[in-house]
Amino acid sequence: MASAAAFLAFSLFALHLCCCHGQAADAGNGVTAIYSLGDSITDTGNLVKEAPPGMFETIKHLPYGVTFGYPTGRCSDGLLMIDFLAQDLGLPFLNPYLGKNKSFDHGVNFAVAGATAMDPADQFNRSIPVPFVANSLKVQLRWFKDFMKSSFATDGEIRKRLQNSLVLVGEIGGNDYNYAFFGNKEINEVEKLIPGVVRTIIDATKEVLEMGANRVIVPGNFPIGCVPGYLTMKAGSSEPSDYDSSGCLRELNLFAAKHNSRLQRAVADLKAAYPNASVAYADYFNSFLALLQNASSLGFDAASTRKACCGAGGGDYNFDRRRMCGAEGATACAEPSTYVSWDGIHMTQAAYRAMSSLIYHGRYLEPQILNFPEKYGQT
């Protein structure tokens, strides 16, 4: 088993890694609330409320939030995809479920940075250290149910509320694999987790649909072989043939693609089982690759697409797990908007904005179940 010190270092690393009838024409109209479950890609402040003093301090302070103006608990320099989606639907930003004295009139964010899809007790054993963050998808789903029951008097009222809501189940599952990889598991071993992770996501989605949700989006995983943190970890053991034309690690991207392929098939089965709901798959994998391929035209520095804006270590990736963004010795670049990666694991506000545009206003939401109010348009 890894030492406690090593595990703490990776916990920080993994944290940073960390619907109408059928496809009716008005499927995306009338969304008055968003409910979101997931991990650090979506967390708008739950982890910083949950973590004890001293844990994960970096995201509580600048330079996290520097573009926004102050730290918000988001793992970025500014806003996330969920924020841009809310804006485009004419809704306020989602407040974190664990926030005090916050308005939940237009939805709630249950996502927690570092969270796994599967319960740690179900997945981890003595060869894989249990992560600090225990707020798995099961826990978040319980929060969601508790919130709805405490906010509405009957199941009928809950169903009525969900008729005018959008529910995002994910992105989640990436940390299940991250912790396993850190436990020195080979890719062929980690692949054995894919069926369980996908089943957990689909089972949660079924429960949401049974509650009355009729607009549900299930995102896939990113091409993790393009992430500076992983590129740094593998740099010493990789050969030139291990990289594709974009400079990403083929094997890790193939792994992520296997997860996504299985998840897409399961989402297709869900759509068939719930024909009166609009269920869509958000293709984070191919939209991210499209961002990389069109980086210059989207306003990014093509030479820095695999380099962290905030970090230490320089080189091709500017990532050092011992001196991550916010730690002593790490610095932030002057123009985050020209970088895709913020801290070597998470993306910049500019990249999240581009991703949101590609997915929700482009061709990477399959099928397109949202129509956006004209007066708000695209952010």
The catalytic residue positions are 40, 343, 346
Q: How many residues does the chain have?
A: 379
In angstroms, the CA 42 to CA 44 distance is: 6
In angstroms, the CA 275 to CA 105 distance is: 28
Structure tokens at 338: 């020209």
Structure tokens at 24: 């009716």
Tell me the C-alpha to C-alpha distance, in Å, between residue 178 and each of 41, 69, 95, 114: 14, 31, 27, 10
Structure tokens at 261: 């392929």
Name the β-bridge partners of 308: 341
In angstroms, the CA 222 to CA 144 distance is: 25
**Going by C-beta distance under 8 Å and a sequence separation of 6 or more, which residues neighbour residue 236?**
none
Structure tokens at 249: 């690690």
